[in-house]
Each structure stands twice: as C-alpha cells, then as structure tokens.
Amino acid sequence: MITEGFRKLTAVNPYEYQKIAMENLVEGKSLIVRAHTGSGKTEIALIPFIYGVNDFLPSQLIYSLPTRTLVESIGERATKYASSKKLRTAIHHGKKATSSLFEEDIIVTTIDQTAGAYLSVPLSMPKRWGNMFVGGVASALAVFDEVHTLDPEKGLQTTAAIAMQSAKLGFPSIIMSATLPDVFIERVRERVERDGGKVEVVDVKDESEIKSRRNRKVELINRTDEELAADIVLKEVESNRKLVVVVNTVERAQKLYLELKDRTEVPVLLLHSRYLEKDRAEKEKFLEEIFGKSSRGECIFISTQVVEVGMDISSPKILSEAAPVDALIQRAGRCARWGGNGELHVFGLSEGSGNPYAPYSKELVESTITEVNSRGKSFVLDWQTEVELVNQVLSSHFEFFMDSTFFYQRLGELARAVYEGSKAKVEQNVREVFSCDVTLHENPESLEAEKILALPKIRVDARVLSGKIEKLAEMGIKVYKLEENPVIGDYEEKYTPSLVRSNEDVTPFELYVLSGAYYSPDVGLVFDKPVPGAVNSFEPDKQKFEDVKSHTEYKLERETWVEHAKNTLWMLEYYLIPRYRYVIKNFANYFGYGYNELVNLIRCITALHDLGKLNVYWQKKVGWGERVPLAHSDETNVKGLPPHATVSARALQPYLESLFDDEDVFKAFYLTIAHHHAPWAREYKGYSLIPHFDKFIDEVWSVPKEFIKAHDSANRLDFTYLDVVDENEAYRLYGLLSKLVRISDRLATGGVSYESIFSA
C-alpha cells in the first residue's frame, strides 16, 4: 500500500533504500537514515504518515529542520502531499509562527521550536500555552532531518533523547542526514534498543540509483595554501561569470561584498543570516533565477553557512573557505547539483584579525585541512568518499560527545529547562550559537508592547550583541529588551521593555530593540556606521500587530459552571479522543491500563478541571448571584480573578489519590488540572467552596463529597513540574493530558469551533 501511495503522490517509483525505510516505519520501527542531498529522504517520513495517520502511525508528524529556509521548502512539499488526504499542515518558525497550539496533523518547524515545545517553553507563543505543546512532541512521529548541523554535545544529544524516549513509549522517530559518522549511528541505535525500542539503520547503497547523482562529478580542488580574497574572486569570474563564494562569518562576507561590488560589471549579491525576512526572500528568488534549474544570467553570490542547507541552487564552481568536513560536503551539494561536472575550491583561512576559525572548532577545521591535504591537490567527491571523509574527521569528535556522561548531563539540562521555563535554557540544549531577535526603532519607548512585538525582526547571535553593548553605548545607540512576565491571572499576559545597561543583560531568544543602529537591504544589519540606503527605524506590521493583539485579548461569553463542564466533556468526546486514539492507546499500554479505562480517567479530569471556580471568592469576583455558579462572565470589567486551576488540583487531591496506584500517573493527572491555565503554577490562595458545591459537581461527575477538600488556607501545591520531569514517561503523559484538557476547555469556551483553533 505504501509503495502504491508513494507512486501516486510522487509519480515515480521509490528508490530501494526508500522502500526499505518505509517498510520498517510502518512496522513501528524508528529509523536512522544516511542519504545524500536530493535522494528523497523527506518522502520516507511524509508518505507513510499520510497513509497511516492514527492507524499504524501517530496522530501527528513533527518534522524538525535546522533552518527556516529548509522549513519553508519542506513545508511546501508537505502541504502538497497532505492535501491529497485533507490533512492540515503548519509551517512554523521564528519568523512565521503559524501553529498556535501545535495541533495540526503535520508541523514542519525548526529544531529549536521543537525543543521549546517539548520543554514546555514555546519560543514563538505565550509561555502560558507551554504544556499543550509538550503533548504534541511527546506523542508525534518525530522527524529530525539534516541533523549534521546540530552541535554533538547539545542539539544531537537532545534529538537522541527525544527519539529514544519516544521509542520507549512505542512512538517511532526518524533521524536523517547525509554526513553522520558511523559512531553516532551506532550509539543512538544502542540507546534506543537498550530501552526496548526498535530501530533500523538505512543507508544508500548504490549512489547511481539516485537520479541527481547518476551523471554528476564534483572535484575538490585543494587551495588551502591560499587565502580567499577579492582579487582571487575577480580572477575566477573572468572565466566563470556564475560563481558561488562561501565564507564563514557575516563580517567577512560583508567586507568581501563591499570590496567587490564596485570592481566588476557582474552583479554581486550578498546573503547571510542578518536580513529581514522579506529582503532575504527577494534575494533567494533572484538566486533561483540565476542558479536554479532553469537558470539564466550571471552573478557573484557571496554567502555564509546559510547556503549549506535548504537552498535549491547549483553552480559549476564554488569557492569556499576551509570549514569542517560536513560543512564542506554540504557546500559541495550546491555544485553541479543536477548533474554534470563541478569544482569545489577550498581555501585556507585569513590570519588577519580575530579568530580565523570562527564560528567553528579549530580542531575540526585543522583536521579537515589535514585530511584534504593527505589526498593531494584534487580528488573526486563521490558518496563513498564523503562517507570516508566524515568517518575519518568526525569519528573521534563524535565518540567523545556520545559518551554516556554527556548524554545524561543533557537529560539533566532538559529537565532543568522545563522546571525553570527559560527560553535561554531551551536554546542551550540545542546549539552553541545562542540567537536572539533584534529590531530597530528610533523611539521604542513611545510604542506599546504589542507594536514592538509587531516590528520586523532580524535573528542574530546573542553573543555578538552582548559583545557590542559597551561599544554601542559609546556610539549613542540604546538597546532595549522586551521581556514577557509569567501569567498572573487566568487570561492575562504582559510584556515590558527595559533598557539594557550591560552585556550580562543580553540573553538568548529574547527580543531587543536598537535605537540608533542601521539596516540596509543590500548589506543587512549594520552595527557601526551606516551604508548607503540604510534606515534606523522599522514600522510595525499591521497584520502581525492584529495577531499579537488577538493573543493578548480574550473575549468570553457568559456560561454557568455546569454548562461549561458538560460542553468541555462533549468537545473531548467528539473531537479529541477520536483524534488521539492511537496515542491514548499507546500510553494505556505502557502504563498498564485498558484503553477505555484511561479514556474514562481523562474524562474525569476534563469534567472537574474547573472545580476551583466553585470557590466563594472566585464566584463573588465574577458576579455570582448565589444561585447558579458561573464558569465565565460576559462582563468586560471583570479583572483580577483569583487563580482557580491550582485550587482545583488542591480540592481534588484526595479524590485523585484514591484513583491511582501509580504515583507518577497520579502526579501527571494532578498537575494537568493545576496547570490548565499556567504551567509552573505552584501556589494557591485560601479558598472555601460554595454551599452545596457537591450538588453542582454531581451534575457532571460523581465524586464522593468526603473526597473533596472544601476549605484550605493559602499554601504551595504538594507537587510541581520537578516531580514529573525526572520521570520522562509521566512528563509525556502530562503533556498529552494537558493538550486534551486545555484544547477541550478552549473549544468549550464561548463556542469556539475546532476549525478556528488552527487560525487562533
């Protein structure tokens, strides 16, 4: 069936390695796939899922990639395939955060967005929604592609941890790359199998089977005794007026561009990571015209690492600074990409200023240069040679970081990120390059927070910004940080700007506003002197502003407590339980419950999640008339409601303890109720349930009155995040339960439709 489906969606037969991979996936096995660029790795994940969703594969697929460009490219392909079965697809990254709740069938996103979701800290959505995102990653078919770009101590360990723990619960995962050494593949397989998972390693055996590699010959030209400078580029362009030049840092790329643009009649284009999305998109469109399959024209294209993944371009000749072997192989993938002959010229590094090896490890760059030198002045880069080079240069590096000490250290750091709810901690579990968002405005203090959030943003390395704080201050440039405060009320969130006064104030994954810096569509973000055509202030995007306002405003309709409880149960029954049947069944099997038994427990906490609203103090604040208790009021002036979710958990604690023998399962259910508005909530205020509260509860769920704690003084909950994050299976169950309860609650509030949550 899968082979037929593959042929139907792609109009071609699968390669042999694709058939082997897909057959193993539908049998419930996890995959580690090593295959070169253009060999159809994406289809291995997408097509079996489309035909097996909620049947022999999970209810969702989360496809993680290292860059936004790749997310856009793969996202378009996923959307096209998914439309055949009317499945919903979201393309989600820092510049296009389209998945409000991680609820679509297929989510194509970046690895840091996936890590943030898994750690209950969504990087592009309010933190108060965090535990719903856990439920997505915790129970999806998790795919990690192009993982060679991830730091072996951080991102690769995080990827391996998610994949391993998924397999333990019976959820398959896929790890894919062209340039992974054997040692990494073997260590991950050992870990998955040691925890009871099933994993298959799939390699391309016959390079000639792959159409794009069949008639292709790329030669690596060793020029490591030379430095890549403007004069060399000008000499090369005399014989080849379509040229790609790759350097390792933004500053060197900008310098080379400014040196070349007025010295040749051939158009010169610069692309790096510090551009606005619209300008980057225009540049990529131009590059596709020059370097795409139907290419025409001429250009000197100067780039950084952004060229390595996701750019479907080809040049007969590429000039590149020396870099680690996996980066060079990826750069070579843009040479004679669709066949023919090509050359990758590898140059030495400049000793002129700063760290010549930046942003790479000196050891890896020098090991690569040594290996290149050992093979003479030139050699052919075929698939076998690429695998040999990767194993030769990277094996000892990966062997060191795949030691179990690093792995368990990473597990501890993942748990810490969950407990602290820190975006910076999320980033520290993914990569060494800690990024943040930067925007420009001449007077940010005059803007409301929502308009600052709607300003166009540029992603930069937080360490670069941190290192420039003193210099920027000397130049009169002010830097402001926009911080999100944790939720205090049930439906409130707040952002406040503060002036950055030292480099210690700069942390990853926050938004900074620069007053006095410049931006040029040609050169990108400029920290020092302006270049021609530069601006120092952006305008808020109107649509983005409306989207931000919709997240910070919450309109409710009047609803009684009993009505809301019944409506929430109905939404769970009609939408969520059928949608997550496969997932619920897996959790039931793992924890030793029958499917119907676990479903009934989920119904129970869904019905009772708002019990804390039967608090006298809550009801009086919302306008209770001492007859029928309310769940929501339509009064617009109702503010400062006392938090009710933690009260619900505290009041229900005796009842929940009577339902569960397994303490970890109990904690997952308990914290789902306590956190159904605000993850990380730890305290509750003194409460007293209204007279005859049991009569209203009995209308939705039968609970013996003596099992409900009707009065209590202010205190801390007995359990917090820390009590589940160390038990990963319980944490994942908590994520699933949070997703089911919170989305059911959202749907039941004010008559929201299931379709509308995908555009929330």
DSSP string, 632-665: E---TT---PPP-HHHHHHHHHHHHHHH-SSHHH
* pLDDT at residue number 752: 57
| Alpha-carbon 489 to chain mean position | 27
Largest pairwise CA distance in the chain: 89
CATH assignment of the domain containing 659? 1.10.3210
Q: From the CB of residue 715, how many other CB atoms can be counted at a distance below 10 Å? A: 12
**Which helix (DSSP H) or strand (DSSP E) does residue 698 occupy?**
helix 693-698
Residues 79 and 114 in one domain: yes
Write down which residue in 194, 209, 224 finishes a domain.
209
**Which helix (DSSP H) or strand (DSSP E) does residue 167 occupy?**
helix 155-168
Residues 488 and 358 in one domain: no
Pairing of strands 494-499, 511-515: unpaired
What order of strands is seen across the sheet that includes strand 242-246? 268-271, 299-303, 242-246, 317-321, 340-348, 216-227, 378-380
User: pTM (2 decimals)?
Assistant: 0.84
* pLDDT at residue number 651: 96
Residues 345 and 237 in one domain: yes
Residues 374 and 495 in one domain: no
Q: How far apart are CA 131 and CA 201, in angstroms?
A: 32
Q: What are the φ and ψ backbone dihedral angles of 638, each rounded to 5 degrees? A: -80, 110
What order of strands is seen across the sheet that includes strand 478-485? 458-461, 435-440, 511-515, 478-485, 494-499
Write down which residue in 209, 232, 250 finishes a domain.
209
* pLDDT at residue number 562: 95
- Domain presence at residue 751: yes
Residues 192 and 265 in one domain: no
- Domain presence at residue 254: yes
* pLDDT at residue number 317: 95
Interval 65-116: pLDDT, tens: 988 888 988 999 999 999 999 999 999 987 788 888 889 999 999 988 998 8
Residues 154 and 32 in one domain: yes
- Domain presence at residue 438: yes
* pLDDT at residue number 368: 95
* pLDDT at residue number 412: 82
Give the residues of the chain that fall short of pLDDT 70.
Answer: 352-353, 431-434, 484-495, 543-556, 636-638, 750-760
Residues 277 and 204 in one domain: no
Write down which residue in 500, 517, 552 finishes a domain.
552
Mean pLDDT of the chain: 87
* pLDDT at residue number 760: 42
- Domain presence at residue 412: no
Q: Which residue segment(s) compose the domain that 628 sits in?
A: 559-759
Number of domains in the chain: 4
User: Please, what is the end-to-end C-alpha distance for the chain in angstroms?
Assistant: 36
User: Across the strands, what pairs with 643?
Assistant: none
* pLDDT at residue number 696: 95
- Domain presence at residue 420: no
**Which helix (DSSP H) or strand (DSSP E) does residue 73 occupy?**
helix 68-82
- Domain presence at residue 464: yes
* pLDDT at residue number 646: 95
